[in-house]
Structures are given as C-alpha cells and as structure tokens.
C-alpha cells in the first residue's frame, strides 16, 4: 500500500520529534502492509518548513531506515496550506509535488472562517495544477455545503481522506460525512495523515473494514484506494477504473 499523506520526517512540524520515533512509525507502517510513504510535512505559515530542506531531511531518514533494515520506500511531498501557497516560488512548488509527480497536496482548511477558498482552488486548478485535497471530510465548508466539494471533484480535484476520520478520531459527524463521501464516490485515496506512533499512527489496513456495516463492500475497495489510485497519482497517470460496487447500499449516481 502507498500512503500519500504522512508527517514522518522528524523535527519539522507536529510530526515525530525524533528519528527514534519516526523509525517506530516506519515499523508500524511496514507491519501493516505499507510499502511506500510520501512524507508531507505541513507547508504553512506556522511551521515555516523550508521546502528546500526536504530532500536532505528525507535522505537522512532514508539512511536511518536502511541502517535499521526497514524496507520502506520514501518519497517527498508537502501538505500545502492555502495561506502559504502564494508565497512559494515555482521551483519550491515543484519540490513539493507528491513523489515528484504532477500533483500538489493541498490542505482543506479546518477553520470555519476560511471563507470561499474553493473559488481560489478553482482558479489555481484552472492554471493547470492537478490537486489532491487532504482531508476534505474534516473541512467545515465542505461539511456544510457538500455541493462545493462535488463541484471541485467534477472539475478534476482528487480527494484523499484520513483513516482517523473513518475511525471516529475527529468525532461522529466527521465520521458520518466521510462515509457519505465514500458512498457518493467522491474519495480517490485513503491516507493515514500519521503524526506519531501512538495517537495518529501509520497504517491503512483496518479503517475501511470498520465502515463495512454501513457500506457493505467498501473493504473490497481498499486495494483501489490504497494502492492502485495512489500509484496512478504518483505517476501522473489517469486513475484506473474503480472496482464494481456489488451492493445496493451504493448509489448508482455516484460513479
């Protein structure tokens, strides 16, 4: 499995504070069947991570993985906040594309005060930027007006949801909204958004199974959501066809 959204590089943001903790996260990822992590530190005005530093940081962590015999492929990206996007130079932006592919991972604002940011997103997208939205299910604007998210997906945006949302870590309303997004076929990727080895650990294997009673057959979508679609995103290829739904709990209009 490929995890497109991870805070795994130590000492950069609110991810692991030490290489020791980052290695513990890597071990959990491998044990749960993840083969590839894309390190996506916060690129925002709070943490002020310098994109230029990321290759060096990733190389150091890759070396630590090798020394520990942990077989994990590590790529670089960034979870870019809209507040920082305008400040990034083109070459910095290019260094933040997921796995060196074409896609940018943009953070869906968690503040209810974010305004009509979707209009800005559409403008950016119209310039030819392919965009994956990080955790749209946690975004108040999309929760209140799902049609705004639908419009973005129809325009070509991809949605990456977070395992913790399915597991209820962000509350029942977020969990229910996540189920709705899956039901409506608005989800293109499942990522861990891992931050540590305890509260928000890596691992993609079990989250979908928890939703099986509400969306029978959803667990069968796991390979598409965690391997096939993210591989296409990294490669810049069109997403492969989704597997058949096979149950009437899914809405026909969603696909």
Dihedral sign (CA 118, 122, 123, 127): positive
Would you say 60 and 17 are in contact if contact means Cβ atoms under 8 Å apart?
A: no
Q: Hey, what are 208's tokens?
A: 């979908």
Q: Does 13 bind Fe ion (CB under 5 A)?
A: no
Would you say 26 and 7 are in contact if contact means Cβ atoms under 8 Å apart?
A: no
Pick the closer one to Fe ion by CB: 138 or 148.
138
Binding segment (CB under 5 A) for Fe ion, from list 55-63, 112-120, 146-154, 186-194: 186-194
Q: Does 44 bind Fe ion (CB under 5 A)?
A: no
C-alpha span between 50 and 18 (Å, rounded)? 18
Pick the closer one to Fe ion by CB: 76 or 215.
76
Q: Does 137 bind Fe ion (CB under 5 A)?
A: no
- Judged by CB under 5 A, the chain residues 190 through 209 that form the site for Fe ion are 193
Pick the closer one to Fe ion by CB: 193 or 197.
193
CB of 240 to Fe ion, least distance (A): 25
Residue from 44, 79, 189, 196 in contact with Fe ion (CB under 5 A) = 79
| Helix or strand run (H / E) with residue 43 | strand 42-43
| Sheet containing strand 2-6, strands side by side | 2-6, 36-39, 73-76
Residue least distant from Fe ion (Cβ): 193
The count of residues interacting with Fe ion (CB under 5 A) is 2
CB of 127 to Fe ion, least distance (A): 24
Q: Hey, what are 134's tokens?
A: 């990080």
The site for Fe ion (CB under 5 A) is made up of 79, 193
């Amino acid at each position: 499995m490929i995890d497109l959204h991870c805070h795994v590089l130590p000492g950069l943001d609110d991810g692991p504070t030490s290489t020791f903790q980052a290695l513990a996260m890597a071990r959990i990822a491998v044990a749960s069947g993840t083969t590839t992590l894309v390190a996506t530190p916060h690129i925002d005005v709070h943490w002020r991570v310098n994109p230029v530093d990321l290759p060096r940081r990733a190389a150091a962590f890759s070396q630590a993985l090798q020394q520990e015999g942990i077989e994990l492929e590590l790529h670089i990206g960034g979870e870019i906040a809209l507040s920082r996007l305008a400040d990034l130079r083109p070459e910095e932006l290019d260094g933040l594309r997921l796995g060196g592919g074409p896609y940018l991972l943009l953070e869906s604002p968690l503040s209810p005060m974010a305004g009509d940011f979707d209009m800005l997103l559409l403008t950016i997208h119209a310039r030819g930027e392919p965009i994956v939205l990080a955790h749209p299910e946690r975004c108040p604007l999309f929760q209140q007006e799902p049609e705004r998210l639908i419009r973005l997906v129809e325009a070509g945006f991809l949605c990456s949801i977070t395992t913790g949302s399915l597991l209820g870590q962000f509350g029942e309303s977020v969990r229910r909204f996540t189920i709705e997004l899956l039901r409506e076929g608005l989800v293109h990727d499942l990522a861990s958004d891992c931050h540590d080895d305890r509260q928000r650990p890596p691992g993609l294997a079990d989250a979908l199974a928890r939703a099986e009673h509400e969306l029978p057959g959803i667990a069968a979508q796991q390979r598409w959501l965690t391997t096939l679609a993210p591989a296409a995103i990294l490669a810049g290829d069109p997403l492969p066809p989704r597997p058949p739904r096979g149950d009437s709990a899914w809405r026909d209009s969603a696909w």
